[in-house]
């Protein structure tokens, strides 16, 4: 039985990258009206607008004033500039503006708009993978309680996991996200390089990699640590360092620093 519909905002998406695309598709799936898509790149604006069955524009001055919520899903360093340009347009001054960045404070909007906030889906989006959006944590913030409330209602339509996170917390969360995502992916890259340089297919390591991530879905990672460093197996560590120093000098330094960090 369908529940009574909560009041949902009309949305305009500024940006048509991977995040904008997956967010837009989820908005459409949950019947939240997206009325326009902006991208500097015509092809991208049109492609996403077609998927969302709405207007496309490549001109910020042509952004409609008929929406309630303007979601800036653009590069971190473009948010301020886009906001400045939009603020010069009549009819947008009192709208609600949010961005989707983990690294940018909400106050980037302050010189330009009265109503602003954050709508940050904490996930990495690929072109060729469809995420389970209902499981993606969405971090919400807004300058005013009323806006925070309406963003929360919208976020809860899209995901089971909605968190109020202020600018300071979000900045810290972003540091942690770099460790979880960027640095662990770099570990995978190094492993792939070492393996493939030696005619060992990376497929040998993929099940281990996946299990490493699955294990910590229900356990704290610190309790799941295994390997030579945590068991202070100096013999194995030394063998590995001898090998790396000969073949991958830069990785040897990383190996040593990471092993010391683990064994502390």
* Nearest distance in Å: CB 158, a copy of itself: 13
* Nearest distance in Å: CB 208, a copy of itself: 5
* Nearest distance in Å: CB 74, a copy of itself: 14
Cβ proximity to a copy of itself: between 27 and 139 the closer is 139
Q: How far apart are CA 153 and CA 228, in angstroms?
A: 48
Handedness of CA 189, 190, 193, 199 (dihedral sign): negative
Q: How far apart are CA 159 and CA 29, in angstroms?
A: 12
| Residue 107 φ then ψ, to 5° | -70, -5
Cβ proximity to a copy of itself: between 29 and 197 the closer is 197
* Nearest distance in Å: CB 153, a copy of itself: 20
Cβ proximity to a copy of itself: between 148 and 161 the closer is 161
**Six-digit token pair at 9?**
């905002």
- Annotate 78-91 with b (16+ C-beta within 10 A) or e (fewer): bbbebbeebeeeee
Q: How far apart are CA 144 and CA 142, in angstroms?
A: 5
* Nearest distance in Å: CB 106, a copy of itself: 15
Q: How far apart are the first and last CA of the chain?
A: 55
Cβ proximity to a copy of itself: between 36 and 123 the closer is 123
* Nearest distance in Å: CB 105, a copy of itself: 10
Cβ proximity to a copy of itself: between 88 and 189 the closer is 189
Q: Decide: 13 and 36 in contact? Cβ < 8 Å.
A: yes
Cβ proximity to a copy of itself: between 85 and 206 the closer is 206
Among 161, 153, 136, smallest CA distance to 32 is for: 153
């Amino acid at each position: 039985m369908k529940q009574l519909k909560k009041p949902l905002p009309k949305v305009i998406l500024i940006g048509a990258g991977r995040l904008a695309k997956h967010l837009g598709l989820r908005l459409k799936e949950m019947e939240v009206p997206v009325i326009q898509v902006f991208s500097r790149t015509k092809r991208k604006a049109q492609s996403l607008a077609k998927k969302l069955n709405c207007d496309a524009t490549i001109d910020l001055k042509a952004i409609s004033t008929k929406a309630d919520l303007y979601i800036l899903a653009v590069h971190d360093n473009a948010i301020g500039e886009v906001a400045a340009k939009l603020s010069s347009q009549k009819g947008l001054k009192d709208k609600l503006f949010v961005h989707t960045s983990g690294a940018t404070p909400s106050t980037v909007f302050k010189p330009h708009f009265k109503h602003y906030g954050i709508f940050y889906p904490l996930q990495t989006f690929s072109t060729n993978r469809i995420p389970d959006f209902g499981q993606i944590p969405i971090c919400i913030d807004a300058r005013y309680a009323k806006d925070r409330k309406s963003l929360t209602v919208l976020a809860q339509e899209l995901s089971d996991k909605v968190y109020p996170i202020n600018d300071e917390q979000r900045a810290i969360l972003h540091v942690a996200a770099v460790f979880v995502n960027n640095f662990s992916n770099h570990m995978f890259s190094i492993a792939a390089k070492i393996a493939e340089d030696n005619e060992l297919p990376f497929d040998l390591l993929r099940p281990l990699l996946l299990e490493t991530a699955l294990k910590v879905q229900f356990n704290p990672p610190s309790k799941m640590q295994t390997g030579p460093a945590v068991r202070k197996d100096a013999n194995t560590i030394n063998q590995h360092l001898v090998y790396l120093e000969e073949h991958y000098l830069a990785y040897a330094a990383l190996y040593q620093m990471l092993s010391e960090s683990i064994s502390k």
